[in-house]
Structure 1
Amino acid sequence: MDRSMKRKLEVLMEDEMRTILLHQWTLFSYVEAGKISEKEWLDRIKEMNKRTERVCDDRLTPFQAEEGNAVERIHIVFSESTKGSLQLALNQKETREEVIAFSSMYSIGPIQDLDKEEGIGKRKEWLFYHLVMDDEQWVHMVEDSLKTIENLRSIPGGVPITIWAGTNAHEQTGLRFVMHLLKNKPNEMDTVQVTDVLEFPLHTGELSPERFVRLLERSQSRPVSVECMKTYLDEWRALSEENANLRVWDKGIQSTTEDYFDATLIQSLKRLQDESDKEDYMKAARLIGEVLGHSSQVVGDSFFEYRVRELVLQGEFLIRGVPRGMRYYEVKWKPQQDV
């Protein structure tokens, strides 16, 4: 099977594949029973093949202009929740504007060759061995990532592109990755640096559809100049070459070691135990929620949960329960004299 046919088949749903197969079996049974001729059978198969290819082509190039219904602008965001809120806001406009979401957490995990199947595979492997993830999300990570990249590259050249990002390592790294993917596109591009506009939100996922409506009305986007694009590309090249497993925001994106938050986790657990009536085990979910609530970084609760498990393995924390998820076990700081 050639690669183009394989890509087309991959965009079909399982129930659609079953329907096509059932239809072919039914037609073949009609030929055997003498209900239709072989020529009629072949003509129907050809017609079904044409319809299927049209559906696949539409899905592989979702932003191609349709008569009277052309996409007027594409927005790019870095979480599914942000996509949902922004799309609701855009639906209130009289224009047709669509949203693409890059939903991976770019502040954590390897990012080298992230536009290639091999690089995505290595990132998937790191996530599998370090984070507790939803099976469905993990299994389809490579194909979903490649599909999102393909959607981005299929944007017609005349459609303007707006990229939304907050001041955090996740979205700023994602912004530079997207610029890398768009570097040869002739499209007009601009960015909305949400934290600069609204001051408080670390992440665009914190914005409601109503806040997006007001931002769209105020038109706070900044055009991406040639010099700015070069800076983004240089920074992406440096980040991907460093290929660290953790990136934080400190007046810019900083690659750092995975134990960056360990001291904060230890101090937070000690404080929670001191504030408790009895120095007992603490739900891992409570500890992680406490650190997340006071952190100015966007790395996701799964990364903090990974570091809690590492601190257990290092003997810093005692554990009670099975660590199949942060809700299922408790931890306690282990005083140095007990070691």
Structure 2
Amino acid sequence: MTTHIVFGLSSGASVKFALKLLNDEQVVVMVDDLMWGPLGNVLLEDIQELRFQWWGQVLTDEDILEDIPYLRESYKKFSEWTTALKDNDSLLFWIGDNPSEYTGLMCLLSYLPQSISVSVVMASNAYYKRYGKFKPRFMGEITADKILPLLEDSKILSPRVRERYKWNWMQLVEDSGNLRILKNRQIVTVSEDYFDEQFVTRAKKISKEKMYRKSDGFFPAARLVGDVIGHQKQMFMDVVIEWRIRCLIQMGLLSYQGSLKNMRLYSIKPVVD
């Protein structure tokens, strides 16, 4: 039986809908975003706990109450699936050009049984080759009706390629960082504040827009979150962008009005030197 592995809830929903007619195949979704946070063998409970603690520092109190229990339950189901794997099973990964899905692929290749056959659909390139015009960054940007034909582009990973991915993964683990990006077709570790300067630059541009003159340049924090998601080549979760906004406020680079309990409850503007 072939199991399709997808990273992220939106991507999982799209692939499940697209493959619902393939009765002998299942879709497994890894919810956790390994672009961010400490790394290790996420199939082990102590590494999962390490990641829960990190997410607890990133999420707002409101999000913690819902997201951490959900993440715990998703890991429990994922671990149960890995325990039930058999040597004659085969895996098919759906991977876009982004650090989240690449890092997830490398992690699972490093810790799942090597006897299991692994194939990959490099979805960004496969989509662009087939449909043109638009090159999606991740699976969640591909509509369900266009997913099934991409199966024709699936390729079995050779032992050499699998070893290369595993080497990249071990390098990331040794780096002991909390942020990974895709650079020159390689996943590399960078500092947590790697994108902060870009966030401040975008905030300055938004603050000068005509519609925010009456509010002295203050604009909704959610506006910057959406702006970053729309302009960044790297894929971002909104909760992580909002966390970095709160970090920039703590560093005195942004000022705010309102409550920091939720991104929709406060406005921000850059602090002018």
Residue deviations 1:204-252, cap 9 Å, x none? 1111110112223xx1111111111111111111111212111111111
The residue type equivalent to 1:257 in the other structure is S
Alignment match, 1:17: none
- Structure 2 gaps, min length 5: 129-134
Alignment map for 1:21-32 (pairs within 5 Å) = none
Whether 1:208 and 2:138 are equivalent positions in the alignment is no
Point out the structure with max Rg over C-alpha.
1
The offset of 1:148, in angstroms, is: 0.3
* Among 30, 41, 49, the residue aligned to 1:102: 30
The residue type equivalent to 1:116 in the other structure is L
Whether 1:294 and 2:231 are equivalent positions in the alignment is yes
The offset of 1:262, in angstroms, is: 0.9
Whether 1:236 and 2:164 are equivalent positions in the alignment is no
The residue type equivalent to 2:198 in the other structure is T
SS at match of 2:252: coil
Alignment map for 1:127-146 (pairs within 5 Å) = 127-132=55-60, 133-146=63-76
- What is the aligned residue count? 261
Q: Is the CA contact 2:18–2:148 (under 8 Å) kept in the aligned structure 1? A: yes
Alignment map for 1:52-67 (pairs within 5 Å) = none
* Among 179, 183, 191, the residue aligned to 2:120: 191
The offset of 1:193, in angstroms, is: 0.9
Residue deviations 1:19-49, cap 9 Å, x none? xxxxxxxxxxxxxxxxxxxxxxxxxxxxxxx
The offset of 1:134, in angstroms, is: 4.7
Alignment match, 1:245: 178
Alignment match, 1:77: 6
* Among 74, 89, 92, the residue aligned to 2:18: 89
The residue type equivalent to 2:162 in the other structure is M
Q: CA RMSD in A?
A: 1.6
Q: Is the CA contact 2:229–2:236 (under 8 Å) kept in the aligned structure 1? A: no
SS at match of 1:86: helix
Q: Give TM-score scaled by structure 2 length.
A: 0.90
The offset of 1:185, in angstroms, is: 4.0
> Percent of aligned pairs with the same residue?
27
Q: Is the CA contact 1:312–1:319 (under 8 Å) kept in the aligned structure 2? A: yes
Q: Give TM-score scaled by structure 1 length.
A: 0.73
The offset of 1:143, in angstroms, is: 4.8
The residue type equivalent to 1:284 in the other structure is A
The offset of 1:292, in angstroms, is: 1.1
The residue type equivalent to 2:202 in the other structure is S
- CA change 1:160–1:148 in 2 (3 A) is same
Extract structure 1 runs of 4+ deviating beyond 6 A: none
Alignment match, 2:244: 307
The residue type equivalent to 1:202 in the other structure is R
Q: Is the CA contact 2:56–2:64 (under 8 Å) kept in the aligned structure 1? A: no
The offset of 1:281, in angstroms, is: 0.8
- Structure 1 gaps, min length 5: 1-71
* Among 106, 109, 125, the residue aligned to 1:179: 109
Larger relative contact order, structure 1 or 2 (CA cutoff 8 Å, min sep 6) = 2
- CA change 1:159–1:113 in 2 (3 A) is closer
CA distance in structure 2 between the partners assigned to 1:283 and 1:227 by the alignment:
49
CA distance in structure 2 between the partners assigned to 1:136 and 1:195 by the alignment:
31
Which stretch has the larger CA shift, 107-116 or 247-256? 107-116
SS at match of 1:327: helix
Alignment match, 2:100: 170
* Among 182, 188, 191, the residue aligned to 1:257: 191
